[in-house]
Structure 1
């Protein structure tokens, strides 16, 4: 319906009545979005597995490297997370690729990757 139609222009509602009617709707919408936010922040396990597969290119299958690149499989979760956060922040000297790669991940994804690789047997 057009709010400018004569039907609505001739109504004699108080100016704040529309806002008062919409307030409960806005409150419910805001509450539902807030409740859903933590669930949306955590990436799904399948998404972490896909992201982890990109690490296999350098760190070896399942994070077990067979070269001078460090193995990340089975490392403590807090160590892996801190290292990735350092890369993302540009605080890891003498590293080139990892600093650029980690900037593409959210904090939740970094936490998921750290957990994933910490649970892989060495």
Structure 2
């Protein structure tokens, strides 16, 4: 079971590498114009990601980025940060 959790954590870290391009490697962007991911509740972050994916939440590029992830992957990202 621990191996499975470890494997899932590695997958989430790999998925989060895309987020790091804009939001920083630890979920805190260098600039002030982008949202901080670190410390957000998992539920709020997942709701935002789902909103980007279905187009109900306004965004610039997140609509396109989020479409590249499955629902399970979005949940892993929300849990990661």
TM-score range, shorter chain: 0.7 to 0.9
Do structure 1's residue 110 and structure 2's residue 74 form an aligned pair? yes
1:33-44 equivalences under 5 Å are 44=8
Partner of 1:66: 30
Matched, 1:82 2:47: yes
Deviations 1:93-120 (A, max 9, x none): 2x12100000111111111100000xxx
Q: Deviations over 1:43-78 (max 9, x none)?
A: 822111101011011001211112111110111000
Q: Which residue of 2 aligns with 1:45?
A: 9
Point out the structure with max Rg over C-alpha: 1
SS of the aligned residue for 2:17 comes to helix
Unaligned runs of 5+ in 2: none
Residue correspondences, number: 75
Residue 100 in structure 1 maps to residue 60 in structure 2: no
5+ residue gaps, structure 1, are 1-38, 118-122
What value does the CA root-mean-square deviation take over the aligned residues?
A: 1.6
Superposition misfits of 4+ residues, deviation over 2 angstroms: none
